[in-house]
């Protein structure tokens, strides 16, 4: 008999989540039936959507999330023992699956770490790859602004923009992210949205305006960036993390006015729009990693018991790159 550990949604988040909002419990799993297989979490992801989508989660149910899991027992010949997959199984240590469960099999990563499947070679990497290239349509020589630039999605967008020959303006909050973007990733224009003179600094580094904006944060920062857009600019509306802890009640911004005046095209997207091309994104990002054109960083928290703290840290900006938990 296998005992799974899982986090259940215990009390509604109010602002930044608290340790006591999620509760770690045990669940006895039944023996496998024909066609089923048992997986064990190896790495678990903590992502901003886990906060923004909390209102759709019932109290008492397993909390939403993805993990890299290993098949440890199988009565399904298509998914043998030892196979690794990325599954949307929630915050749990062990899961009984069948072929219809919500997962994809990890492709051959050669020497790259398995945890990359939750980041640059998984959902966040594909969000950057498809969201930026398809919606922003960047051209060499153009100016691209990226918010959330030191995180899982933003750090990849910045580097793809550079690969495509664009001038990149990276915007982040924590000092560690700013240092990583400037000193290690060698971006020339790295701004902190927390600076009092953020607007003036943005104006200084965008003398020819902004052609593409990849927006991870929304709110007031976005209102400032919009004032720098060129006519017919393209905006990928990827996320609005600045509003997630206060249920999106951010200050009103002059978005519509600027959209009309500058004839901007702004498009929100969900990465699963490109589900049919999923492995194309992974293959291209893997190639860029191997060629040294993409650099990748993770903030790893050890232990399933520390998941809630890892989640809170990520929402508070204490991750650099992708936040991952090692089970
Ligand atoms: N559309 C899609 O399909 C899709 C898919 C994946 C992700 N997303 C979105 O993409 C965005 C980035 O996700 P990620 O996984 O890469 O997360 P991440 O950037 O690795 O982590 C979240 C970061 O958000 C920043 N942040 C927190 N509060 C903020 C605020 N008030 N203003 C500005 N920044 C704030 C913090 O960094 P600082 O240190 O910079 O403050 C924090 O580290 C999120 O909005 C997410 O919802 C969308």
Ligand 1 pocket test, candidate residues 150, 190, 216, 266, most atoms within 8 A of CB: 216
Shared domain for 108 and 195, answered yes or no, is: no
Shared domain for 252 and 140, answered yes or no, is: yes
pLDDT of residue 276: 98
Does 282 fall in a domain? no
Q: Which of 214, 40, 41 minimizes the C-alpha distance to 118?
A: 41
How confident is the model over 111-148, as pLDDT tens digits? 999 999 999 999 999 999 999 999 999 999 999 999 99
Q: Which of 131, 108, 157, 167 minimizes the C-alpha distance to 294?
A: 157
Query: What is the C-alpha separation between 274 and 94, in angstroms, rounded?
Result: 29
Residue of the CA atom closest to atom 25 of ligand 1:
317
Residue of the CA atom closest to atom 43 of ligand 1:
317
Does 290 fall in a domain? no
Shared domain for 77 and 173, answered yes or no, is: no
Query: CB of 225 closer than 6 A to ligand 1?
Result: no
CB 93 within 8 A of CB 327: yes
pLDDT of residue 134: 97
Shared domain for 178 and 256, answered yes or no, is: yes
Tell whether the model's pLDDT for residue 251 goes beyond 60.
Answer: no
CATH no. for residue 78? 3.90.180.10
Shared domain for 224 and 167, answered yes or no, is: yes
For residue 197, what are the domain limits? 123-272
CATH no. for residue 167? 3.40.50.720
Question: How many angstroms separate the Cα of 187 from the Cα of each of 171, 195, 223, 224, 253?
Answer: 11, 18, 23, 21, 29
What angle (nearest 5°) sits at the alpha carbon of residue 269, between those of residues 268 and 270?
Answer: 145
pLDDT of residue 1: 84
Shared domain for 8 and 112, answered yes or no, is: yes
How confident is the model over 51-69, as pLDDT tens digits? 999 999 999 999 999 999 9
Please state the domain count of the chain. Answer: 2
CB 198 within 8 A of CB 231: no
Query: What is the C-alpha separation between 263 and 119, in angstroms, rounded?
Result: 34
Does 277 fall in a domain? no
State the pLDDT confidence band at 299, using cuts at 50, 70 and 90. very high
Does 318 fall in a domain? yes
Does 68 fall in a domain? yes
Does 279 fall in a domain? no
pTM over 0.85: yes
Does 288 fall in a domain? no
């Amino acid at each position: 008999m296998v005992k799974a550990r899982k986090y259940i949604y215990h009390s509604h988040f109010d602002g930044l989540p608290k340790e006591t909002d999620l509760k770690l419990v045990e669940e006895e799993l039944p023996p496998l039936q024909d066609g089923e297989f048992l997986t064990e979490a190896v790495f678990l992801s903590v992502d901003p959507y886990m906060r923004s989508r909390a209102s759709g989660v019932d109290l008492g149910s397993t909390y939403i999330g993805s993990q890299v899991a290993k098949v440890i027992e199988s009565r399904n010949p298509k998914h043998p023992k030892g196979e690794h997959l990325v599954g949307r199984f929630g915050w749990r240590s062990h899961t009984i699956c069948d072929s219809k469960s919500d997962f994809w099999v990890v492709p051959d990563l050669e020497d790259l770490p398995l945890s990359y499947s939750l980041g640059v070679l998984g959902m966040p990497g594909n969000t950057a790859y498809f969201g930026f290239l398809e919606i922003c349509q960047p051209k060499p020589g153009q100016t691209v602004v990226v918010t959330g630039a030191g995180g899982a999605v933003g750090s990849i967008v910045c580097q793809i923009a550079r690969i495509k020959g664009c001038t990149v303006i990276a915007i982040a909050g924590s000092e560690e992210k700013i240092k990583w973007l400037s000193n290690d990733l060698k971006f020339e224009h790295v701004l902190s949205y927390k600076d009092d003179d953020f607007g003036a600094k943005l104006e200084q580094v965008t003398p020819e305006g902004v052609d593409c904006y990849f927006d991870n944060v929304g709110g007031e920062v976005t209102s400032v960036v919009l004032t720098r857009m060129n006519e017919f600019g393209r905006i990928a509306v990827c996320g609005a993390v600045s509003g997630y802890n206060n249920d999106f009640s951010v200050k009103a911004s002059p978005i519509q006015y600027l959209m009309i005046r500058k004839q901007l095209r702004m498009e929100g997207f969900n990465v699963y729009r490109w589900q049919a091309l999923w492995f194309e994104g992974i293959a291209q990002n893997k190639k860029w990693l191997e060629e040294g054109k993409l650099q990748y960083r993770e903030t790893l928290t050890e232990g399933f018991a520390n998941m809630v703290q890892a989640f809170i840290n990520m929402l508070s900006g204490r991750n650099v790159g992708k936040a991952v938990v090692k089970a």
